[in-house]
Structure 1
Amino acid sequence: MAMILPSRPFYILCPIFLLLIRATTQPDFQYYFCAKDGGNVTYAYRANLDNLLSSLVIKEDNGFGFYNLSNGNAPDKVYTMGLCRGDVDSKFCRTCLNDCAYLLRQRCSNKAEAVGWYDNCTLRYSNRSMLGIMETSRTYSMWNTRNLTSNVDGFFQNLSTLLNNLKKQAAAGGSLRKFATGNTSAPDFITIYALVQCSPDLSQRDCDDCLDDQFGFIPTCCDGKVGGRVVGPTCNFRYEIYLFFGPAYVPLRESPPLLAPPSINSTTRIRDKENNPSRTVIIAVVSTVVSMILIISACVYLWRKKKKDEEAPQFLYQSAEEIESLESLRYSFEIIRGGTDNFSEANKLGQGGFGSVYRGKLPDGQDIAVKRLSRNSDQGDLEFKNEVLLVAKLQHRNLVRLLGFCLEGSERLLVYEFVPNASLDNFIFDPSKRANLDWERRYKIIGGIARGLLYLHEDSRLRVIHRDLKASNILLDEEMHPKISDFGLASGYMAPVYAMHGHFSVRTDAWRNWIDRTVSNIIDPLVTVNSVSEIMRYIHIGLLCVQENVAHRPTMDTIVLMLNSNSLSLPVPSEPAFFTNSDIGSDMALASANETSISELYPR
């Protein structure tokens, strides 16, 4: 359920600022390949694929992040394999695979075979079995743009030793995980960190051969570079001079034998205590302090629980008026099914972890978007109705409007207004469409997003924070006005501390260019040159949103004021949180779809 939240933004608006302003087109590493000769895609094949990808994110994986599933019968049978990086937990593994499935659905909709890569996972599907088959024909390399300044030969000799050692560890892994991480020292007091991984269905020899093939690509992609990676369908590796992975994976092994207790006579130890008055006093003091800490902790816990219970919203439709209001939002399943042509594939707008979205039409002719929620939700009917009523009361021109719902049997449907221009990411990440986003339109989009967030933070019934604000959750109406979606229900209401676990997705090249006084380097060249001073101000405001000290970040009402008043002086931003430690702070550069950045990525 909802919770009362502070209004100070935490990694909320800055990502949208920078996505609209910066020249690069993707916030995180992602790449995909659609097979040209993968066969014809029949309706039955596509249906089997959709069902398979939807079930992928809810199937248990025993905590190893490896999925191997199939669905249907020949010739429309679909095979899929998902593999998450070995240091990623199950929750974020499924999130990554879900994002990858969405990417492949968008980019390879008419292909029977495809593979997609994200930072933390790889997803493949095909009309042929892929189990146990090593593949190195589709391999992609990327490198860190920073060059080594000295001792290049020594650096790569040490790197070669490290990678070969990790290769042996990974290849020797079992049938559930072949993954290894490690580090080594290099000249000039540099530490090299590296990660290697194979699909666990490969044999030890195939894993060894696959990684050897990829290591052989280093001289042509990464010579003289402080970091690089090569990814393929069945194996991958990466190296950097900073820590970019989580705790090293320790293979399961038998428990070590219990050690015998020290050969000290227990009587002697007791006698020592009795003969040492100072030790007795210390023990008494420590015991007292520990007891006080436990009592204080219990009191704090009970106080926090009481406060949380007080702040938690009660049932929202207790009165007759509210019950009547809720029922007025209800649609019959037959109306929605008819309006979407029985949820036909032709009307499908998208797919996510929450379920599928379909375009439809009400009997009065109004266009709608219907979100068909997954049937595996733990939410009860009463909770669902409460949240529907809550979200329906959140009304703002920059929020997607919830028109109603349907709750019949196992079906849970949400009916939204239809927004014709789809989502912002379709414009930002498409070179041809991005040309339509001149600075005036980007300026209006940023302002609209800010006003929508201000409403959620300050003016709505509860202070709501959007835990997943990104370009794909900003919809554009026929006049290109922004509307924030997924601010309730499936997204939930989460505290800003959520972002403290490393989910800040915008790369910190903005900060590097800021301190180097080269901010103009990140401005999209398609934006009018005459607007540079205003764009610089927006980048400045964006950096203020992500300062490490929470108290220094402006509130949403202050942000709106800053955006609307050029005469208001801005404080100097301090270093963003996690800039020095986060793997998102990487110097790794990726290729832009419009080929305007200095990033380089080569397929082989």
Structure 2
Amino acid sequence: MISFEIKKQVVLIYLWLWWITSTNICVNATNDSLKPGDTLNSKSKLCSKQGKFCLQFSNNSIGSDFPCLFISVNVDYGTVVWMYDINHSIDFNTSVLLLDYSGVLKIESQNRKLPIIIYSSPQPTNNTMATILDTGNFVLQQLHPNGTKSILWQSFDYPTDVLIPMMKLGVNRKTGHKWSLVSDKFNLEWGPKEGELNIKKSGKVYWKSGKLKSNGLFENIPANVQNRYQYIIVSNKDEDSFTFEVKDGKFAQWELISKGRLVGDDGYIANADMCYGYSDGGCQKWEDIPTCREPGEVFQKKAGTPNVDNATTFEQDVTYSYSDCKIRCWRNCNCSAFQEYYDNGTGCVFHSWNSTQYVQVVADTFYNLVKPTKSAPNSHGT
């Protein structure tokens, strides 16, 4: 199965090609909404009033088509910040986003007998409108006779792997709905009881941000990558949530990549892939350090392939990812290095040697366990 991150990279490539060949430039678009009966197809797009964000379909396939209704930052950046559920199969050429006269927001395409329902109103109504806002939020609203509006559905409630200003992490206490980032096996969540950001894998906490200090910075996040943010934390009967604003008003994003790293515009916010199960620098403890390992040892990415004469074992299970391979190598005192078995980053190859290794310079990479040059009791994982 192709990972979400690989699919997303293909979306970015296509998006760049789309913009340099399209005569319909997002910034100049004036249509930001779908009214009942309106449709959005592969040759059109919705853009927010100030042209900051656009909603459109993307024609991308890796072996087969996958759903690519996405929101991106304007043409100057082209960053994808949201994608609709990629587990549904649609056809690019015939796919249509439709808001019908009963208040149903859905995707229809020729290769599907039944439409993909994004939202269906409990009570049929035609006084609805779907709008892409300058915050990057795509909202379906009900318009009331007194001029007020209520939100029926919004893309901000269903983040993918990117957090942008005013998009929330946490829980809606009215509905029980949870907001979190998801990237393959890793999740970024807000822990309201502790007041900390958590990166989890399969329900196990790998990394925590630490408490928010009096200077407005989290303990376990480098100061240089968070000085530009203003954090907003809400805790009341309606919600427990975390979000951020950018002090200079410019666009910024946090992205949770598949290996468990949280990346901001100014660098790494968290390296959960450096956590092997002990407490240090935000990493959470769930087991003792193996007796054969020492604080300060890290896995370093190397170009090439270890000598085939070294002892090598294989794990061909496609459910194993980079972090699974790393933890298994760390726990195994005979393991000196590892690499992914399959091209899509799954499965493991484990290498062992006694004191020396020979690397063949080829178009390949592996991760070598390197001992510290001097005692570093508190530096592991930094």
Structure with larger Rg: 1
TM-score (norm 2): 0.27
Higher normalized helix content (fraction of residues): 1
TM-score (norm 1): 0.19
| Structure of higher RCO (CA pairs closer than 8 Å, 6+ residues apart) | 1
Higher normalized strand content (fraction of residues): 2
